[in-house]
Structure 1
């Protein structure tokens, strides 16, 4: 699943872009290069507004610098001068510098955005623009004693941004008079500012007081310690800014890239509300033809300028003739995380089937239950699908989620979701202790089953032994059935879920379920993946709970329950009525 931006959705007011000097044609060009995923909530910060003058100041400062390498050397970093593209202004610079609010603690107007995630294929100029932004933070952000850092997995990589920024300063008449550029540091004597390159945690042993940071090629980081040091070093600054720039990784779960990429998607999908985090991801989707020029343009906003069409065509030809290079081409030039799994649910379809649900109106109707009890110290889910009275709707779905109360803080921190808020709002129940109290789940399930005509409860047998026996003893006449968590065991129910969501094969249609928009189920729907065995059989991919930020228990419970629904007797049907 991907978050696609409507063509009319810009992170900057259109009138502000015109005031900044962009033409309608340039704005249209930027819209045509829109990212696949946009994490943008800055306008939702209380009292936020867009300050055109702030962006003008940033662009004026950037205009003092020129490209220093390759065929672009000497071109000023302006749209008119050819060194800056409209998409870079519209999707990166303007939203980051333009959204501000009055911070009472700082007693000043400050930036809303504090962390920026820019994920784009190679050769799209992300490092050069980041070098220019680093110089803005050092020289033109109104910060005394600004400390700015370029960080990467190796010193050579970190110095790419640092050295480029230094060359920009030395070739700028305006900046050259203000800085002292040495081999390892750029200093600004008048303000006390410094800019350094970092590549290992030992270099920050004495602590940092970070105003700005550029964290380059996040996908190669093997440890999170350096990133943590930079992020935690911003506490004394009024409006720090950390920019993460990267291409896709090799689908390594639990890495710092995986964490930041996943967090950006959560903000984009509104699973997490965080106005201070802004992110853009340009990428091809799994269903796109990797050798079509349309796909190349979708993933590369600068295609035709940087990278050149000739270069991408040459790389694509190499990928076609050298199968071992194909994954590298997809990762570096289409920004695809290469894996053998794919997203199960399109959130647009999921949101389109939210609708209204009302368990009270469904009393006595046929229902099917699903359990995913999982580990005793993590999420557990009970799902129920009840035949609906609504015209065109087959099932209304309901979830109950459980976590151990003593694990709430750890889970909230690990998963980066608003778990405490979900508990407060009643979407999750925290059971006493550091392990799940199955007696609470059983009691809730019994109450639910007595309100409807429960047909079958399906479950994953791994953790369900004792509880299933107890439910079976109390629910006379209700079938208790295990569902094998294999390709053959889960594939029919997964395909039934796709049908109910409105997707069958390649055909999309209106969904035939209503689930009420439960935010916990929505989060799980946004991350659940399936694997295909090559014979059109599917099974859910369960994340490694020691590392992953994903949980899919609610969807697993739903799939288990749908196995029973799929096998229901066809002769007994209710006539649907308009609600």
Structure 2
């Protein structure tokens, strides 16, 4: 598609291959070169098409970008080593945010030139100037965009976050000499006197809808919004403006599905891959890789400089290399800090708040488990019965003779009517699991306890079952029937005191390659979902509330392993010494080993 442009033919652009690698449009590259701005060296992982690629009527207006940058430079930093210096955008901010958003224009129905982009999405790791970018855009839309009576808002989820968002922008307005004469900063609002425009923070959908005629909005840390109502109210409140802009700027989330962040991120990826087209939406995602697996496929060390550079466009300035190396060192030594490091500093979405078992370690520990060869072996069971509409898990742990190692086998059940729901949550994997036999479906929309009891009875005929550990919640009927059948069922508390030892032992065993699990794909998904919670003493337990999705198989493993370890400890204890018999007691004479020969 031919694009109308104001590019000068005498300006030498980089080769097309280089522009493609840097994910720069010819128009933006031309703008950077003619303004003496260095080309960036850190392209985003995802970048949606610029309007000029999708819209034949779009034009790139470099003077509009000049105006935005000039406005930024009249503002002043308020914190740290840059306090008092101009808010001069970095080359990557111009190339990937300001120029594509403010430069592309089209004629509206009134024949006026207006911005094409109405929704901006920027995902970037911490310490890359995200707050500064938010502040500059908010103030520009309020005081320099030429809009009369502009209502510009920032979305916050709580009163505390509202202050966190508003305070830095208020400081910029108060401490920038070129801006201060034109604005009035109040406790909760910044007013541009010449146009009657204002900037304020809203923390509820009702606030956003009240008298809504929104020209601009900044949604800082989109992943913190548990509900979409506030953001949706802001977006619907822009309908009567000619060129509104809603900027969503965030770090990566912890992998929870079906959130407004998850839906938005998915849409940006689909736009970047050209699966769908929408010229009014533009976004970039900076990250070292799409996932931990992708990071390994790229051959990148998560703690190395190359991964840091790929994720952080401001690398070396903000954040500094020393800062990131410190965070990497902490994550290398503490598994509980790894997920935070990957998410906040490498931009990688994790499946849990606190990553405890690395998938690479789990995969390495898989080994080969031959269930037929386990027949007759001593086994300890662990049962986790979920609610009637979800997954139930059974785990058998087989201690290896004379060593601190185990083989493990799982059974998983799901009501058949719930397969579509789980399939959606697992990106189509659940159907494969069911087809291959890893996940057993029971008829209807509730779990079938008969199927569970029948399978355990069959396993008890095959294995030498010693005990079955279970969580008291929801296990009454199944456990009663198992007990009636002769199995020893042991209730196990799911509290931190009870779960700490088996969970820490699981991590140790996995890292040492002494928990052979055969690579069960359902369990692998659950391990990737696992989050843990810890107390002040460093004790840990699985955290179902903050896990990315289901972890029933992990809970079943904890119950089984706790039983196995308890029995092994009892076997290691020295036998109790019997008290000496009282005088005249001849019981010892009749023990087989001590009988007298007469």
Q: Same fold (TM over 0.5)?
A: yes
Q: Does 1:337 align with 2:349?
A: yes
Once the 2 structures are TM-superposed, how far is the Cα of residue 243 of structure 1 from its aligned partner? 0.6
Aligned: 1:20 with 2:35: yes
Aligned to 1:86: 91
The Cα shift of 1:36 comes to: 0.7
CA distance in 1, matches of 2:332, 2:436: 39
Q: Which residue, 287, 292, 296 being the options, matches 2:308?
A: 296
More RCO (CA 8 Å, sep 6+): 1
**Hey, what does 2:105 align to over in structure 1?**
100
In the alignment, is residue 327 of structure 1 matched against residue 279 of structure 2? Answer: no
Residue 152 (structure 1) aligns with:
156
Distance in 1 separating the partners of 2:437 and 2:61: 54
Equivalent residues of 2:55, 2:279 under 8 A apart = yes
Matches within 5 A, 1:436-475: none
Q: Which residue of 1 aligns with 2:57?
A: 47
SS of the equivalent of 1:211 reads strand
C-alpha distance after superposition, 1:335-392 (max 9, x if no partner): 11113999xxxxxxxxxxxxxxxxxxxxxxxxxxxxxxx989999x9xxxxxxxxxxx
Question: For the structure 1 residues 7 and 323, does the alpha-carbon distance in structure 2 shift closer, same or farther, using more than 3 Å as the test?
Answer: same
> Retained in 2: the 8 A contact 1:152–1:218?
no
Shift in Å, 1:185? 0.5
Deviates more, 1:214-223 or 1:169-178: 169-178
Shift of 1:20: 2.8
1:71 aligns with 2:81: yes
Measured after TM superposition, the shift of residue 244 of structure 1 is 0.5
Residues 182 and 75 (structure 1), Cα distance of their counterparts in 2 relative to 1, 3 Å cut: same
Match of 2:46 in 1: 37
* RMSD between superposed Cα atoms in Å: 3.2
Q: Which residue of 2 aligns with 1:254?
A: 258
SS of 2:341's partner is helix
- Distance in 2 between the 1:215 and 1:535 partners? 45
2:169 paired residue number: 165
Does the aligned pair in 1 maintain the 2:271–2:277 contact within 8 Å? yes
> Partner residue of 1:7?
21
Q: Provide the residue aligned with 2:275 in structure 1.
A: 271
Q: How does 1:389-404 map to 2 (within 5 A)?
A: none
Return the TM-score normalized by structure 2. Answer: 0.55
- How far did 1:313 drift? 0.8
Q: Distance in 2 between matches of 1:318 and 1:219?
A: 24
1:90-239 equivalences in 2 (<5 Å): 90-104=95-109, 106-239=110-243
Residue 60 of structure 1, CA deviation: 1.0
Deviation at 1:203, TM superposition (A): 2.5
Between the aligned partners of 1:85 and 1:537, the Cα distance in structure 2 is 47
Q: Indicate how the Cα distance of structure 1 residues 460 and 47 shifts in structure 2: closer, same or farther if over 3 A, else same.
A: closer
Deviations 1:141-187 (A, max 9, x none): 11111110111222332333322222222222332111111011111
Q: SS at 1:214's partner residue? A: strand
Distance 1:69 1:87 in 2: 21
CA separation in 2, counterparts of 1:18 and 1:97?
17
Determine helix, strand or coil for the equivalent of 1:177. helix
User: Residues 488 and 537 of structure 1 are in contact (CA less than 8 Å); yes or no, is this contact kept in structure 2?
Assistant: no
Report runs of 4+ in structure 1 exceeding 6 Å deviation. Answer: 374-379, 459-462, 539-542
TM-score in terms of structure 1 length: 0.57
Instruction: Kindly state the Cα deviation for residue 52 of structure 1 after the two structures are TM-superposed.
Output: 0.5
Structure 2 unaligned blocks of 5 or more: 1-17, 353-357, 360-415, 425-429, 442-515, 527-598
Q: Which residue of 1 aligns with 2:435?
A: 483
Asked if residue 62 in structure 1 is aligned to residue 97 in structure 2, the reply is no
Q: Could you give the per-residue CA deviations for residues 514-536 of structure 1, whole angstroms, max 9, x where no partner exists?
A: xxxxxxxxxxxxxxxxxxx9645
Partner Cα distance (2:231, 2:128) in 1: 24
Q: 1:8 to 1:86 in 2, by over 3 A?
A: closer
1:438-473, Cα deviation, whole Å (9 max, x unpaired): xxxxxxxxxxxxxxxxxxxxx9699xxxxxxxxxxx
3-state secondary structure, aligned to 1:212: strand
In structure 1, C-alpha distance between the alignment counterparts of 2:84 and 2:440, rounded to whole Å: 62
Deviation at 1:210, TM superposition (A): 0.9
Q: Is the 8 A contact 2:28 2:100 kept in 1?
A: no
Report how many aligned residue pairs link the two structures: 357
Q: CA deviation at 1:46?
A: 3.1
Distance 1:156 1:280 in 2: 28
Gapped regions of structure 1 (runs ≥ 5): 79-83, 343-373, 382-410, 412-458, 463-481, 490-532, 543-579
What is the CA distance between 1:6 and its match in structure 2? 3.6
Shift of 1:85: 1.3
Q: Superposition pairs for residues 349-388 of structure 1, below 5 Å?
A: none
